[in-house]
C-alpha cells in the first residue's frame, strides 16, 4: 500500500506490518475454522442500500444519545483486551483517541492499563466490560467502576470458558499482565502449554454463572443489549451478527436499546446496522489496528474514517439524522431477490 491509509482495511495492512506475527494473529484471529469470522464481514456485503434521492442533505447530523450520553456518532469503541501488545501506551492511548472523537470508550477488564489509569487519562465517557468472573473479582471491579466514573457495566455473557483460537495455541501466545487483576489472582504466566490466555481465563471465570443466578432483566438493571458474537472468537459456526440483529430487535420490542458489533469496517456497515434496528455499533479490531499503526492518532483516524464514511453514506442515501435511517433503507439478501432491486 502506497501513502496514507484511506480506509479501515488499509489500517489492518499497516498493523500487520508493524506487529509481531504472534500479536497480529491474536488480534485478528477467530475461533477454530473461522467460519463466523469471515461471515461477520461477508454478511454485510449481501445487504444492499436503498437510497432516497432529491432530499435536502445540506446538513447531516450523526450525533445520538446512548444510555443518556450524547455522542458525536453512533459509534462505541468495543472492549478488547491487551492493547499494550499493540502499542506501549495501550488503553490509555485508545481512550484518548475515543475522547478526541467524542465517542464512548469500552474498556475490557482484561486491559493492560488499569481502570484507574484509563479513567485519569481522558474525558471519554467510559463503560467497563466484565465477564462472569468469580465473585470476588466482580465485586472488586464494580467498586472500582463506581469510584472511577465508569458509566455502565458491559457483561459479556458468551464466555463460560474461552474460545479456541488455534493460531494462539500454535504460537504459544502469552497473555500480557492484566493489571486489573493485581492482588486478586496471580498475574504471572500460568501455563507453558499452548496459549496461556486460556489458562488465565480458566483461573478467573465462573462457568456456573447462569440464568438461575440473575434476575437482572426483571430487576430492571439491564439498560441495553449488545448483539455480538465476540468478534467470532468464541463459538464458531454461530451466524454473522448482522444476520440476527433484526430478530433480536423484534424480541426486545423497544424496551431497551439494542447495540451491535461484529464486522463493521465501513460507514455503509454502520448505516446497515442502524437500518436493521441498532442504536449504535461497537468497533473492535479496526480500533486496535489504528492503535498498532499510529497510537492515539491512529485510533482517532480510524474512528474519523468511519464517521466520515457514515456521513457520506447518510448524505447519498438521503438521511439527515440517524433517526432518518429506517428499515426501508436496506434490502437483505432475501428481499433483494423479491424486489429485484
Ligand X SMILES: Cc1cc2nc3c(=O)[nH]c(=O)nc-3n(C[C@H](O)[C@H](O)[C@H](O)COP(=O)(O)O)c2cc1C
The active-site residue, picked from 83, 230, 250, 329, is 230
Select from 81, 84, 171, 238 the one that contacts ligand COI (CB under 6 A).
Answer: 81
Q: 197 contacts which partner out of ligand X, ligand COI, none, CB within 5 to 8 A by kind? A: ligand COI
Per the listing, cell 434521492 goes with: 53
Shortest distance (Å) from residue 243 CB to ligand COI? 21
Active-site residue 329, yes or no?
A: no
DSSP annotation of 177? P
As a whole number of angstroms, the distance between CA 135 and CA 205 comes to 9
Select from 41, 119, 197, 317 the one that contacts ligand COI (CB under 6 A).
Answer: 197
Is 156 a binder of ligand X (CB under 6 A)? yes
Site string for ligand COI, 143-172 (x = CB under 6 A): -------------------x----------
Is 267 a binder of ligand X (CB under 6 A)? no
As a whole number of angstroms, the distance between CA 289 and CA 30 comes to 16
Is 74 a binder of ligand X (CB under 6 A)? no
Q: 201 contacts which partner out of ligand X, ligand COI, none, CB within 5 to 8 A by kind? A: ligand COI
Residue 136 exposure: Cα atoms within 13 Å on the Cβ side:
7
Tell me how far CA of residue 174 lies from CA of 178, 183, 291, in angstroms: 11, 20, 20
Residue 26 CB-density burial (10 A; 0-12 exposed, 13-18 middle, 19+ buried)? buried
As a whole number of angstroms, the distance between CA 8 and CA 21 comes to 19
Task: Compute how many other C-beta atoms are within 10 angstroms of the C-beta atom of residue 324.
Answer: 17
Is 112 a binder of ligand COI (CB under 6 A)? no
**What residue ranges bind ligand X (CB under 6 A)?**
27, 40, 78-81, 108, 110, 129, 156, 228, 230-231, 233, 261-264, 283-285
Residues that bind ligand COI (CB under 6 A): 81, 110, 162, 197, 201, 230, 233
Amino acid at each position: 500500500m502506497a501513502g496514507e491509509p484511506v480506509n479501515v482495511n488499509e489500517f489492518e495492512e499497516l498493523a500487520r506490518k508493524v506487529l509481531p506475527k504472534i500479536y497480529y494473529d491474536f488480534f485478528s484471529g477467530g475461533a477454530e475454522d473461522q467460519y463466523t469470522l469471515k461471515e461477520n464481514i461477508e454478511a454485510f456485503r449481501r445487504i444492499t442500500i436503498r437510497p432516497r434521492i432529491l432530499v435536502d442533505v445540506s446538513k447531516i447530523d450523526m450525533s445520538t444519545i446512548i444510555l443518556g450520553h450524547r455522542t458525536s456518532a453512533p459509534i462505541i469503541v468495543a472492549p478488547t483486551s491487551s492493547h499494550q501488545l499493540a502499542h506501549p501506551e495501550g488503553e490509555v492511548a485508545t481512550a484518548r483517541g475515543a475522547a478526541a472523537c467524542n465517542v464512548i470508550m469500552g474498556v475490557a477488564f482484561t486491559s493492560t492499563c488499569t481502570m484507574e489509569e484509563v479513567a485519569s487519562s481522558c474525558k471519554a465517557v467510559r463503560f467497563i466490560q466484565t465477564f462472569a468472573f468469580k465473585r470476588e473479582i466482580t465485586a472488586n471491579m464494580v467498586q472500582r467502576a463506581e469510584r472511577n466514573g465508569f458509566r455502565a457495566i458491559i457483561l459479556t455473557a458468551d464466555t463460560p470458558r474461552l474460545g479456541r483460537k488455534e493460531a494462539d495455541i500454535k504460537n504459544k501466545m502469552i497473555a500480557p499482565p492484566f493489571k486489573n487483576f493485581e492482588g486478586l489472582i496471580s498475574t504471572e504466566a500460568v501455563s507453558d502449554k499452548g496459549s496461556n490466555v486460556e489458562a488465565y481465563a480458566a483461573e478467573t471465570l465462573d462457568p456456573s454463572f447462569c440464568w438461575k443466578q440473575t434476575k437482572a432483566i426483571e430487576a430492571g438493571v439491564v439498560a441495553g443489549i449488545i448483539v455480538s458474537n465476540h468478534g467470532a472468537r468464541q463459538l464458531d459456526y454461530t451466524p454473522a451478527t448482522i444476520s440476527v440483529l433484526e430478530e433480536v430487535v423484534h424480541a426486545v420490542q423497544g424496551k431497551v436499546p439494542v447495540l451491535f458489533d461484529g464486522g463493521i469496517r465501513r460507514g455503509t456497515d454502520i448505516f446497515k446496522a442502524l437500518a436493521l434496528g441498532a442504536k449504535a455499533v461497537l468497533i473492535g479490531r479496526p480500533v486496535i489496528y489504528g492503535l498498532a499503526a499510529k497510537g492515539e492518532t491512529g485510533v482517532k483516524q480510524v474512528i474519523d474514517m468511519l464517521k466520515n464514511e457514515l456521513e457520506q453514506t447518510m448524505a447519498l442515501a438521503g438521511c439527515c439524522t440517524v433517526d432518518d435511517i429506517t428499515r426501508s433503507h436496506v434490502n437483505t439478501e432475501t428481499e433483494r431477490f423479491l424486489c429485484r432491486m
